[in-house]
Structure 1
Amino acid sequence: MRSYGVVIPAFNASGTIAETLRSVAAQTVRPELVVIVDDGSSDDLAAAIGGTDLPLQLLRQANAGPGSATTRGIAALSTPLIATLDADDLWLPSKAETQLAHLERHPATSGVFCHLRNFRNDRPDAPEDAIVPGWSRTTMLIRREAAETVGPIVDPPGGRGEMIDWIARARETGLALDMVEEVLALRRIRPGSLSYGRDAARDRGYLEVARLAMLRRARNKAGAG
């Protein structure tokens, strides 16, 4: 089974990242390296990650957004496979093993995602929503060459939608992305997180993602004409 690394972008995540790292350490196939990119946090992230036995590398940058931080983390890894994870989410123990096996069985597949369920802050055993396909950073395991083909994860205005944009670009390049049926990840929902509720300022990112997708389709149609 091929080795993989993990990228975790983190912004003021000292209250949740230790639990997130414990879920990575509990994997039945552990990563070769976990790269945490501190995206201009004001809290003490270094102290929060000090209690793990995982191989860690902590990078710091001025605040630029989770996409920028993820892109920097990917560049810091040399493993052939890369998993990404938000700093307040959790993996179930067989997440990496299941996805690694899927990629071994399907060599033409560039990346694999999994189903997830939401939970309210410190209640991972109390599901709040239906199980959903997780087309997200927390569920992604991708081949290095595919990530390099798609290029940087671009942060739109408002800080939401960067993974929707990146996954759309991946599909537009012809990369095969699979979804396994198992629930292998948990997404934390808490006030203040980027995934919490509707917010007009933050939701501008989704509008920008849709606009860029339409522009790409128009360019591709013109080029094919």
Structure 2
Amino acid sequence: MRVSVVIAAYNAEAYIAEAIESVLGQSVPPDEVIVIDDGSTDGTRGILDRFGGRIIALTQTNSGQAIAVNQGLAMARGELIGFCDADDLWTARKLELQLALLERHDDVEAVFGKVQQFVSPDVPEEQRERLTPAVAIMPGELKQCMLIRRPALERAGPFDESLPATFFIAWLGRAKQNGLRSAHVDDIVVRRRLHLGNGGRTNTDAQNHETLLALRKAIKARRPPE
């Protein structure tokens, strides 16, 4: 089955090359990698251009990550869809392990895996403690950990563009309500980089507020019509 990978990037010049290489360097490589530059003002676009025909790169006006990811999905041609964040890393056998599980189990629609969180080497020593996670390795029901069959992705509808930071939380809740059949591989599939630009760790009030909005939308969707 053809695999498409979507990456949204905004001012990601410090990490985007390493993220893309981790996707292209898979033991079973994807068929296409689509990178949406969400109106970056740094050198992100120039780095994307260095990859040439190895990726499909598009620049849009800065509109937010959810809109960028939806734009990438509209371009994707694969029967299976994966995601990587511009500052994270796929482990080398992510696709190999997840494809094998999907091939063995026709009833599984989406497969996740473990995520390993690490403090980026470029974080100054005096800032590292506050970014250090309480748990380094854990099950990861995250967008970047997921490989999903396209019909299951589309059944739950597009990502909510009104929730730029928590759109995946809202989508996953909706997908589970619609009967998403998922499984996990017992391996680390993503290394999640923690750095000073992580909005969820440096701007927790805004993140918590948006998470609450996502949960309210999920609860409202579960209520029967009046």
Q: Which consecutive segments of 4 or more residues in structure 1 shift more than 4 A?
A: none
2:212 aligned to which of 195, 207, 213: 207
CA contact (8 A) 2:156 2:175 kept: yes
Equivalent in the alignment of 1:12 = 11
Q: Tell me the distance in 2 between the aligned counterparts of 1:134 and 1:193.
A: 17
Q: Secondary structure at the match of 1:138?
A: helix
Q: Can you list the C-alpha shifts for 1:89-148, whole angstroms capped at 9, x where unaligned?
A: 00111001100111111111111111011111138xxx8533111111111111111111
CA contact (8 A) 2:118 2:136 kept: no
Any idea what the Cα deviations from partners look like across 1:44-94, whole Å, max 9, x if unmatched?
Answer: 222112444772111122222212211111110111111101000001110
**Which residue matches 1:41?**
40
For 1:213, the aligned partner's letter is A
Query: How far does the alpha carbon of each residue in 1:142-167 deviate from its partner, in whole angstroms, 9 at most, with x for none?
Result: 1111111111111445x322111111
**5+ residue gaps in structure 2?**
123-131
Tell me if structure 2 keeps the 8 A contact 1:37–1:61: yes
How far the C-alpha of 1:13 sits from its partner, in A, is: 0.7
Give the aligned partner of residue 94 of structure 1.
93
**Distance in 2 between residues matched to 1:131 and 1:197, nearest whole Å:** 21
1:32 is aligned to 31
1:60 paired residue number: 59
TM-score, normalised on structure 1? 0.89
Alignment of 1:1-225 (within 5 A): 2-52=1-51, 55-122=54-121, 129-157=135-163, 159-197=164-202, 199-219=204-224, 222=225
TM-score scaled by length of structure 2: 0.88
Deviation at 1:3, TM superposition (A): 2.2
Does the CA contact (< 8 Å) of 1:15 and 1:48 recur in 2?
no
Asked whether the equivalents of residues 37 and 60 of structure 2 are also in contact (C-alpha less than 8 Å), the reply is yes
Q: Distance in 2 between matches of 1:195 and 1:97?
A: 30
* Counterpart secondary structure, 2:4: strand
Q: Distance in 2 between matches of 1:28 and 1:108?
A: 25
Aligned length: 217
Using the alignment, how far apart are the partners of 1:156 and 1:190 within structure 2? Answer: 25
- Following superposition, the deviation at residue 201 of structure 1 comes to 2.1
RMSD of equivalent CA atoms: 2.0
* Larger helix percent: 2
Segments of structure 1 that go 5 or more residues without pairing to the other structure are: none
